[in-house]
Amino acid sequence: MDSLLCKLSVVRAGRRVPEFSSALGEPLEEDEQDVGTLASCRSNCQAALDRCQPEPEESTATPCPEEPSVAPRAREPLALDDGDEMEASHRASAQAAAEAAYRQRHALLVEKGLRYVNAPSGPVTALTDGCVEVKGRLQHGMPVRLLAVSGSHSKVIHEGQLDGVWIPSKVLVTAPPSRLAKSNQFSRQRVLPPATAQACRAPPDEQVDPALLPADAPPDHTAHIRVRYNGTHMNPLVSFRFDGMPFQTTVAAAGSRYAAEVIARACWLRFEKGWSKDDVLRFRNDCYDQLSRGSPAKRPRVERPEAMEVMSPASSPEESGAGA
């Protein structure tokens, strides 16, 4: 390798490349000079490289101060009051936007002729172009469309009358009336009596001894409402349901409607105290027996006249003839 480099350096210098003999012998003088030249070239090149290479600088960088570790801050949840206020504000803004849109659309329809009939006292009588009366068509609060105005009357069209009719202009308004009138065929719904209402009770019976009846429920007790008299039954009775269990007393067994109602209400009080149905039935039957023993015997409605027959002694035909 050294010999090749030597030859290259010699060729570059313009010198002749020495010829080597094939025979082994001592090195020529020119070869020694080439070796020395190559060594000097090497040293010069190395020195030049050392001069060109910058000297490594000592690292004088100061270490960066460590930043204090800060824990991640948890996101605070919104308070319930803030959420409620935000929801209320959103709802209010949405409602305001809806009202504004409604007013804008209503104003546009009023410009196109929208009107409302304001006649709470009754239906409006309208006239056709031929002066024919049309009754009962225009009711209070009905929307109509204004077509023309002539004096104190206005021509409008409405549902069911597209030809147009004339009505007084004073009954037309631009806003729907706040109070609607009831129609003539309005049927009142059946109003249920309040829970505190008292049921219709039979008046005290003078023929019944109060001492023979059990203690009645207090006047404001619920038994007076729950215990009902049924006079349409073949055998009039007083009945009720306690916790879904039916119970009844009959007028025939008690002797009167008043006694049957008092016994029924007394049975209700026994149920409230926790008595069983068998015990209440025995109590009811005891009341029946006490009334039947203490009441006077019933008289028949129609009294039969007594036959006053006078039996005369048997007489012979001769005596009868002799007496004659």
Angle at 110 between CA 108 and CA 116, to 5 degrees: 145
Q: Over range 233-262, report the average pLDDT.
A: 91
pTM of the model: 0.34
Q: Which residue has the higher pLDDT, 41 or 171?
A: 171
Lowest mean pLDDT among 251-260, 284-293, 301-310, 314-323: 301-310
Whether the per-residue pLDDT at 241 is higher than 90: the answer is yes
Output phi, psi for 310, to 5 deg.
-105, 120
Question: Which residue, 295, 313, 312, is CA-closest to 258?
Answer: 295
pLDDT band at 246 (very low <50, low <70, confident <90, very high): very high
- Confidence label for 308 from pLDDT (cuts 50, 70 and 90): very low
- Give the residue with greater pLDDT, 122 vs 260: 260
Instruction: Tell me whether strands 124-127 and 153-158 are parallel, antiparallel or unpaired.
Output: unpaired
Q: For position 208, what pLDDT does the model report?
A: 78
Question: Residue 202: what pLDDT?
Answer: 62
Is the pLDDT at 138 greater than 60, yes or no? Answer: yes
